[in-house]
Amino acid sequence: MPDRTVVLPASPPPADVHDVALLDLDGVVYVGPDAVPGAADAVAAAAARGLRCVYVTNNASRPPEKVGAHLRELGIRADDADVVTSAQLAAGILAGRLPAGSPVLVVGGEGLLDALAAEGLRPVRSMDDAPQAVVQGFGPDLGWRELAEGARAVRAGLFWVASNLDLTVPTPHGPAPGNGALVNAVAAAGGRRPDAVAGKPEARAFRDAAARAGSRRPLAVGDRLDTDLEGARAAGMPGLLVLTGITGVSELLRCPLRARPDLVGRDLAALLAAHPEAVRDGDGRGRCAGAAVAVRDSGLVVEEPGDDALDLLRAACAAALTLPASAAGEEVEVDPDPVVAAVRAREPEAEWAR
């Protein structure tokens, strides 16, 4: 039997294997105000199989009550306690360092204000209020004055917590600047980087969410390699990448080892489906079901497209993600265009074929 390297392991339907799914929100459950098509039905069907969904979001703009209400408006049965935000995690870090009632400068929105108050801290908006730390998180109405005040606090040497470093957030019109981009602006003006980051990909975000849910067999689910999947690996739990948000074919095929998913699916219906194995065979070809992809001169060649575009992508992962650069945890230099073209030929409307 020829040597073979398993890149994406076979799995029964995740809803039959795991007790809790730690779902990202933006790009997984909804995009902007609208649900990802089929998300509500998939969550309900997973719940019917005994899989509890907990929602772990890096977006610090809204408190859990408003996130929970939004989910219910979209037809998803969710309690407010099922929502874990990076604002809560950031406030928890500060509560562990500061005396109760301490003033904290907020560069962000309502989610941070509520999270700090819940931890017994006092949110303020000005350095004139003598804050003892500064916390920064995404807010859609965040403006120059708030960023300037944050830079002032950073230059003064205050302990600085960022809710997350996501450079972009998904919107109905494509990626838009996220908290990481705004943190970079404050860092450029303040002359240093944050002292702590609360949300994903920090392992604590995943472990805390799993512990809150009492999970023994958690599964992390997200649309981003650099936060959701990298954080899942850091936390030592399996990760499912869904292709309804930021990550598409090209990014996945250049995925470093530290962010490699265990499972790949089109959308949350992947919680309900069995996942085939993707392997690199002894001849260097990636294979999954009836699809086969080879690497030649740093380019991917589709030898057998198979019957399913997702199996083709899995086969391409098996070929590309076992290259030496990937094994070292660095970006792989392969040309993904042949796979992108083959996926589009199979599924012309697939938004993830990019």
273 CB-contact burial (10 Å; exposed 0-12 / middle 13-18 / buried 19+): middle
Q: Given this model, what pLDDT does residue 334 score?
A: 79
The answer to whether residue 77 sits within a structural domain is no
Banded model confidence at residue 1, pLDDT cuts 50, 70, 90: very low
State the average pLDDT over residues 158-173. 91
Edge-to-edge strands, sheet with 122-124: 122-124, 103-107, 133-136, 159-162, 196-197
What is the DSSP code (8-state) at residue 303? E
The answer to whether residue 292 sits within a structural domain is yes
pTM: 0.88
State the average pLDDT over residues 112-136. 98
State the average pLDDT over residues 184-205. 96
Average pLDDT for the chain: 93
Specify whether 262 is catalytic: no
State the average pLDDT over residues 335-347. 92
- The tens digit of pLDDT for each residue in 33-55 reads 999 999 999 999 999 999 999 99
- The tens digit of pLDDT for each residue in 253-294 reads 999 889 999 999 999 999 999 999 999 998 889 999 999 999
Domain of residue 149: give its range.
86-197
Report the CATH number at residue 47: 3.40.50.1000
In the set 3, 16, 19, 24, the catalytic residue is 24
Q: Is the peptide bond before 218 cis (omega within 30 degrees of 0)?
A: no
Instruction: Identify whether residues 222 and 159 lie together within a single domain.
Output: no
Alpha-carbon dihedral 168, 264, 288, 286, rounded to 10 degrees:
40
Instruction: Identify whether residues 284 and 226 lie together within a single domain.
Output: yes
Instruction: Identify whether residues 193 and 213 lie together within a single domain.
Output: no
Q: Given this model, what pLDDT does residue 290 score?
A: 94
The answer to whether residue 10 sits within a structural domain is yes
Counted domains in the chain: 2
Q: Give the 3-state secondary structure percentages of the chain, helix then strand then coil, rounded to 5.
A: 35, 20, 40
Specify whether 26 is catalytic: yes
Q: Given this model, what pLDDT does residue 174 score?
A: 83
Instruction: Identify whether residues 324 and 215 lie together within a single domain.
Output: yes
Percentage of the residues of the chain whose pLDDT score is greater than 70:
96
What is the DSSP code (8-state) at residue 228? I
In the set 3, 19, 26, 226, the catalytic residue is 26
Mark which of 135, 162, 197 sits at the end of a domain.
197
Distance CA 64, CA 159 (A): 25
Mark which of 157, 179, 197 sits at the end of a domain.
197
Q: Given this model, what pLDDT does residue 325 score?
A: 60
The answer to whether residue 218 sits within a structural domain is yes
